[in-house]
């Protein structure tokens, strides 16, 4: 897949992050986004790690935290095992982002949204390469009522810093910033939906007819 094809795949998601309608953007914005994307691609050093674990082991990484989440129980119920993914675009992406933030804020916003969408895209490709069979969609700490603190617990429990260089930072952030910890349950198909989300009644995205997932 060449750069243009990847860009066309991720652009609608990046627009969603910027809260703009991809259908309504003009050619000038599209060209600027593609030029920004080509710089981003040059900076990316994608790394991924995955671990197959029993659902019990996943929930036991920190029982106090995981027991607070109804979503974890809901999505993983009936799954035979789970897969944990750790993925990152690498430190060069952050370094360039900082430069842009100091000199060109509008490009920095586009760059950041494209980087988030690209990380999702590469993680999807990484997951597809595993041929998992029936599995739930991939979800992350911070989704629904899943405690975001689980990121840190999982980084330690699976030696993610040592293996692919994702580190804990302050405020539940990770370094590199464009890094993700996600997991899915194996053995049943579950697509993302708002129906079970704890934020359903007051979700700001839904008020703008947007979703936090690709539908």
Task: Tell me the three state secondary structure of residue 90.
Answer: coil
Shortest reach from residue 22's CB to ligand SF4, in Å = 17
**Of the candidates 44, 64, 212, 65, the residue with the CA atom closest to the CA atom of residue 139:** 212
x/- site string to ligand SF4, residues 174 to 213, per CB under 6 A?
--------------------x--x-xx--x-xx----xx-
What is the smallest separation between the CB atom of 36 and ligand SF4, expressed in angstroms?
26
- Displacement of CA 172 from its chain's centroid (Å): 14
Nearest to 109 by CA among 18, 194, 25, 43: 18
CB of 137 to ligand SF4, least distance (A): 11
Q: C-alpha angle with apex 214: 61 to 164, nearest 5 degrees?
A: 40
Identify which of residues 137 and 167 has a Cβ nearer to ligand SF4 in the complex. 137
Task: Return the number of the residue (175 or 210) whose C-beta is nearest ligand SF4.
Answer: 210
Q: Are 160 and 154 in contact (CB under 8 A)?
A: yes
Closest among 84, 99, 111 to 180, alpha carbons compared = 84
Output 188 or 211, the one with its CB closest to ligand SF4: 211
Which one, of 80, 105, 64, 97, lies nearest residue 186 by Cα? 80
Minimum distance of ligand SF4 from residue 45's CB (angstroms): 30
Q: Is 148 in the site for ligand SF4 (CB under 6 A)?
A: no
User: In the complex with ligand SF4, which residue's Cβ is closer, 61 or 212?
Assistant: 212
Which residues contact ligand SF4 (rule: CB under 6 A)? 194, 197, 199-200, 203, 205-206, 211-212
């Amino acid at each position: 897949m060449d750069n243009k094809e990847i860009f066309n795949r991720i652009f609608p998601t990046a627009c969603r992050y910027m809260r703009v309608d991809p259908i309504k953007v003009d050619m000038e914005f599209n060209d600027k986004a593609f030029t920004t994307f080509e710089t981003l691609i040059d900076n990316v050093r994608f790394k991924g790690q995955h671990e197959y674990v029993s659902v019990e082991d996943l929930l036991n990484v920190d029982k106090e935290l995981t027991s607070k989440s109804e979503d974890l129980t809901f999505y993983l119920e009936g799954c035979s095992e789970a897969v944990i993914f750790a993925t990152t675009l690498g430190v060069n992406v952050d370094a360039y982002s900082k430069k842009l933030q100091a000199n060109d804020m509008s490009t920095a916003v586009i760059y950041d949204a494209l980087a988030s969408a690209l990380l999702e895209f590469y993680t999807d490709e990484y997951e597809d390469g595993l041929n998992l069979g029936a599995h739930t969609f991939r979800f992350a700490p911070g989704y629904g009522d899943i405690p975001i603190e689980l990121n840190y617990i999982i980084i330690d429990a699976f030696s993610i810093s040592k293996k692919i260089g994702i580190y804990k930072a302050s405020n539940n952030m990770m370094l590199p910033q464009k890094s993700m910890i996600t997991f899915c349950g194996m053995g049943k198909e579950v697509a993302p939906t708002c129906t079970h989300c704890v934020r359903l009644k007051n979700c700001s995205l839904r008020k703008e007819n947007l979703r936090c997932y690709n539908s």
